[in-house]
Amino acid sequence: MTAKRGMDSASRLPTNTYLWPLKRYTEMYRRSLDEPEAFWAEQARKLDWFKTWDRVLEWRLPYARWFVGGKLNVSFQCVDRHATTWRKSKVAIYWEGEPGDTRVLSYSTLFREVNHFASVLKRLGIGKGDKIALYLPMIPELPIFMLACGRIGAVYTVIFSGFSPQAIADRVNDTQAKVIITADGGYRRGKTVKLKELTDEAVKLCPSVEKVVVIKRTGEAVPWTKGRDIWLSSLLDEPHEPVAPEPVEATHPLYILYTSGTTGKPKGIIHSTGGYLVYNHSTYQWVFNAREESVFWCTADVGWVTGHSSIVYGPLSHGAAIVIYEGAADYPTLDRWWNIIEKYGVTILYTSPTAIRMFMRSGEEWLKKHDLSSLELLGSVGEPINPEVWQWYYKNVGREMCPVVDTWWQTETGGIMISPAPGIEPIPLKPGSATLPLPGVDAAVVDASGKELPPCHTGYLVIKRPWPGLLLDIYGNPERYREAYWSRFPGVYYTGDFAMRDEDGYFWVLGRADEVLKVAGHRLGTAEIESAVISHPAVAEVAATSRPDAVKGQAIVLFITLKEGNSPSDALRKDIIKHVRQTIGPVATPSKVYFVQSLPKTRSGKIMRRVLKAVASGESIGDITSLDDETSVAEAKRAYQSLKKTQGGV
Ligand code: WTA
């Protein structure tokens, strides 16, 4: 840490400047790097273990195995542990459906339900190590099934309920799941999403699936395949007994979560039980500074990693009260969230810059209708937060009284890595910076050769040693694991992000350095989008790129050449957009489609994406040539000009 006293920027800081220098944080951070094993063992002891580990860390590059020999159970940590104390009558989940229906689950109710669902899984023949897929709306049954899987050691994958049949099938086929758990439908902006129909479409492509369990949510009629489909309610009606939590090895996989990378195929990120839980238990406390009476609301969808770590495992392992809301933020009106905060007395709000930008656009009057005085802390995750958006959030949502924790992390990191940690010690905040690495996180900014850069230089963000939340592997693809994270800079973990570290040691994460987009905080690989587009019969070649978007951060732009016999038209453009929505899902809806005669390529035939990105963003070619040293300036200019001509300027 290079934190210094009395830096100039301190005068611009909104809170807590008087606490500098950071004594507690600095000591803890130093110790976490000097004596990592002792440090993490201390953290791990805060959980209940059926058997203590033999070794804290086995590190054989690129695989880290934490708490080897230790045995624990995730549902025991998140439920039983609380259901046997006074917390049994404490609220675990305040749930609100989009139509306005509500459910409140205490820890003892959650305990009963997790047991009940675990018995259902067992009756379906699911046991330790078996894979199941969860394709569900944001209803309480989703976290209950996640915990029920953990109870018996089954490995689940949550498939985001906004995904379409092809995306579901890709994930199910990769895991070879035998059972899919879905619902008749879910609510979105007053309409229903027909999840069962989408599941049926997907299952046609999934030979491994034997059973489809259906939860009744909307009550609409659904197609039914006899012998394969089962209502959850009929399974729950059968006699059942409590299910003892299965002690699993700390290194036993808890779940697989698919995320986009730089190829067309999503990566199945495998997280462990022990290391992952220890990491999320610790970081939840450090970052959110939660108290027993806190009401924690993470607005993410459970389909993304934030929903796993920050809705389920971090908070519930602490016995926290959480809020889960099923639907859209602007339904029926733009004050739905503020209404929820007031209604449940939310104290910690954790959301995305995209959501904040949407509210910022719609004006403050929606906020003013509600009493938000319960809020004590605000969080942001998923994409860089622009300083003006940060300020708006701080001022209008937080009444200039709540610290804003800008948390940087990834699906692969399992938990928050760089963030203010008021639970350790409040620090001066800088809008737009995720601030300092959490204890145990040895973060650095390096140049293309892997050399650490001096302050205020932009480079690649890397993590120089393993931490307990690090993914175990990529499911079924260890070569890709090595290649994606450990080969760009040998021996250190490559994040794929650009970052800058300032003179105070604060990190500024600037965005992706690879071909991964963040659209409304959702991670999408350009290659994945391209492979969806190319499956349209009229498309010959495609390049997907992005342009800045005032609300979503980035918006998808496609450059397409057509097969002979097809000509550009508005109808074709709409059809291609529809095709992408049907293949991946509405999250991948392209915002612009350009038909071009040819795509700019290097002599070796590589599509010059940076040229396309500059064109899509309306930037000048001068800004981009230096970025791509494989590309000659003349070549780039020529491509840029011809592209500009074909599409009549962007
Ligand atoms: C980006 C989400 C800037 C980053 C938890 C990262 C951020 C990717 C931040 C991971 C932040 C996430 N500031 N950028 N606070 N948080 N990112 O896997 O590019 O969906 O690599 O995990 O989101 O996205 P993922």
User: Could you read off the pLDDT of 570-581 as tens digits, one per residue?
Assistant: 999 999 999 999
Q: Is the dihedral of CA 77, 78, 80, 86 positive or negative?
A: positive
The answer to whether the CB of 304 is under 6 A from ligand 1 is: yes
Out of 83-87, 171-175, 444-448, 593-597, least confident range: 593-597
Q: What is the structure's pLDDT at 428?
A: 92
pLDDT at 14: 39
In whole angstroms, give the CA distance from residue 646 to residue 97.
48
Alpha carbons 102 and 246: distance in angstroms, whole number? 32
Query: Which tens digit of pLDDT belongs to each residue from 151-181?
Result: 999 999 999 999 999 999 999 999 999 999 9
| pLDDT bucket at 7, cuts 50 / 70 / 90 | very low
pLDDT category at 618 given cuts 50, 70, 90 is confident
pLDDT at 639: 57
- Residue 495 Cα to ligand 1 midpoint, Å, equals 10
- C-alpha atoms less than 13 angstroms from C-alpha of 489 in its C-beta half-sphere: 21
| Residue 498, φ and ψ in degrees, nearest 5 | -90, 140
Cβ neighbours of 322 (radius 10 Å): 25
Our answer on whether the CB atom of 298 is closer than 6 Å to any ligand 1 atom is: no
Label residue 451 exposed, middle or buried (CB < 10 Å: 0-12, 13-18, 19+): exposed
Q: Taking 60 as the threshold, does the pLDDT of residue 649 lie above it?
A: no
* 55-60 and 321-325 strand pairing: unpaired
Sorted by sequence, the CB contacts under 8 Å of residue 42 that are 6+ apart come out as: none
Q: Ligand 1 within 6 A of 352 CB? A: no
Contact (CB, 8 A) for 15 and 425? no
Contact 173, 208 (CB under 8 A): yes
pLDDT tens digits, 37-55: 999 999 999 999 999 999 9
pTM above 0.95, yes or no: no
> Would you place residue 5 in the very low, low, confident or very high pLDDT band (cuts 50, 70, 90)?
very low
Q: At what angle do helices 633-646 and 609-617 cross, to 10 degrees?
A: 50
* Residues whose CB falls within 8 Å of the CB of residue 635, separated by 6 or more in sequence, listed in order: 600, 602, 603, 608
Q: What is the pLDDT of residue 648?
A: 43
The residue that leads in pLDDT, 643 or 570, is 570
- The reported pLDDT for the residue numbered 611 is 80
What's the pLDDT tens digit per position in 489-501?
Answer: 999 999 999 999 9
Determine the atom of ligand 1 nearest the C-alpha atom of 511.
19
Contact indicator for 362, 334 with CB cutoff of 8 Å: yes
What whole-number distance in Å separates Cα of residue 505 and Cα of residue 1? 6
pLDDT band at 643 (very low <50, low <70, confident <90, very high): low
Flag whether pLDDT at 560 surpasses 90.
Answer: yes
DSSP code for 8: G
Mean predicted confidence (pLDDT) in 237-241: 95
Rounded mean pLDDT of 616-620? 78
Which region holds residue 40: left if phi is over 0, alpha if psi is between -120 and 50, else beta? alpha
The pick from 352, 407, 409 for probing ligand 1's pocket by mutation, whose C-beta has the most ligand atoms within 8 angstroms, reads: 409
Name the residue at shortest CA distance from atom 1 of ligand 1: 383
Query: Does the beta carbon of 305 sit less than 6 angstroms from any atom of ligand 1?
Result: yes
Q: pLDDT tens-digit profile of 319-349?
A: 999 999 999 999 999 999 999 999 999 999 9
Residue of 205, 200, 201, 206 whose CA lies nearest to 214: 200
Ligand 1 lined by 160 (C-beta under 6 Å): no
Domains along the chain? 516-646 (3.30.300.30)
Whether the per-residue pLDDT at 621 is higher than 90: the answer is no
Residue 605 pLDDT: 76
Summarize pLDDT for 281-318 with one digit per residue, the tens: 999 999 999 999 999 999 999 999 999 999 999 999 99
Predicted local distance difference test score (pLDDT) of residue 610: 78
Torsion sign (Cα): 356, 362, 368, 371: negative
Give me the pLDDT at residue 507, please.
97
**What is the best residue among 160, 357, 438, 523 to mutate for testing ligand 1's pocket, by most ligand atoms within 8 Å of CB?**
523
Asked if residue 9 has pLDDT above 70, the reply is no
Does residue 16 register a pLDDT over 60? no
- Closest residue by CA, ligand 1 atom 13: 384
Chain mean pLDDT for the chain: 92
Cis peptide upstream of residue 62 (ω within 30 degrees of 0):
yes
Using the predicted structure, report yes or no on whether residue 627 has a pLDDT greater than 90: no
Arithmetic mean of pLDDT, 606-630: 67
Residue 646, pLDDT score: 56
> Residue 613's pLDDT band (boundaries 50, 70, 90)?
confident
Query: How close is the Cα of 379 to the center of ligand 1, in Å?
Result: 13
Among 540, 532, 542, residue whose Cα is nearest residue 583: 532
Q: What distance in angstroms lies between residue 6's CA and the mean position of ligand 1's atoms?
A: 30
Q: How far apart are CA 263 and CA 516, in angstroms?
A: 9
Of residues 471 and 20, more confidence is placed in 471
Instruction: Give the strand order in the sheet containing 179-183.
Output: 229-231, 211-215, 179-183, 131-134, 155-158, 253-259, 267-272, 473-474
What is the pLDDT, as a whole number, of residue 628?
Answer: 41
Q: 518 CB under 6 A from ligand 1?
A: yes
Q: Confidence class of residue 17 from pLDDT cuts 50, 70 and 90?
A: very low
Confidence class for position 18, pLDDT limits 50, 70, 90: very low
